Amino acid sequence: MVDDHDIVRVGVRRILEDEPSIDVIGECSSGEQAIAWATANDADVVLMDLNMPGIGGIEATAKIVERNPEQRVIVLTALHGPEVKQLTDRVGAYGLLSKNLPAEQMIQAIHKVACGQRLGGEEKSEQPVFNLEKRRRFSTLSKRELQIVLLMTTGLDSLAIAECLQVSRKTINSFRYRIHSKLEASSDEEVVALAIKQGLVEGTPPVTH
């Protein structure tokens, strides 16, 4: 189990420890720790948080799978959509699981992956990625610009986003410029902070004062 939030790790670990057919043999709080741990240990399934400081879940998954393809990674995320799934598929993850998924469904998905089966679709709740009623300052963004904001919230840089959407880095930088202009933001970090503040990312309620 890899997640930079202690509460999430503890919660997931307790759920899994209550399941007799699953043994929890390790946990990490960063992508860097996960890569080192996975290199020194064998696990049938690795639950990987998507968005973490430093090396995020995407890069960590790619390195783990490259070093040991027998370790099957499931990405845990509050984000959904074809772009995220495409990216996790590309680095070799066995599928996506929503952090809002009921415990029994998460356990079923882990068993499925442990048996060598990829998750056919996103195992997720029915909540949308973006709450359209809470867009506020984001209402002027196009669908493509919203897709790019979504990928920015995962910590990806322009090159990684370009590869995910199969366009040039120059095109992504042009979109970023328009996003910054429309949102009156001076950086990607400010865009991500605004997305979280407005409650646009699933699992992050809007911040009120």
pLDDT tens by residue, 64-96: 998 888 899 999 877 666 767 777 888 889 988
Of 53 and 65, the structure prediction assigns the larger pLDDT to: 65
- Per-residue pLDDT averaged across 160-178, rounded? 87
**Which residue type sits at 150?**
L
**Per-residue DSSP letters for 76-110?**
EES--SHHHHHHHHHTT--EEEETTS-HHHHHHHH
Architecture of the domain spanning 6-114: 3-Layer(aba) Sandwich (3.40)
Give the pair of three-digit tokens for residue 157: 């840089």
pLDDT band at 134 (very low <50, low <70, confident <90, very high): very low
Decide if pLDDT at 22 tops 60: yes
Three-state secondary structure call for residue 51: coil
Nearest alpha carbon to residue 99 among 4, 208, 197: 4
Summary mean pLDDT of the chain: 81
Check residue 204 and give its pLDDT. Answer: 42
Task: Indicate where the chain has its CATH 1.10.10.10 domain(s).
Answer: 132-197
Give the whole-angstrom CA distance, residue 9 versus residue 206: 24
Decide if pLDDT at 159 tops 90: no
pTM of structure: 0.63
The CATH number that domain 132-197 falls under is 1.10.10.10
pLDDT band at 170 (very low <50, low <70, confident <90, very high): very high
Check residue 153 and give its pLDDT. Answer: 79
pLDDT band at 124 (very low <50, low <70, confident <90, very high): very low
Three-state secondary structure call for residue 61: helix
First-to-last C-alpha distance (Å) of the chain: 35
Give the pair of three-digit tokens for residue 88: 């996790």
Task: Indicate where the chain has its CATH 3.40.50.2300 domain(s).
Answer: 6-114
Give the whole-angstrom CA distance, residue 31 versus residue 52: 7
- Per-residue pLDDT averaged across 128-143, rounded? 60
Of 140 and 37, the structure prediction assigns the larger pLDDT to: 37
Check residue 6 and give its pLDDT. Answer: 87
Check residue 84 and give its pLDDT. Answer: 75
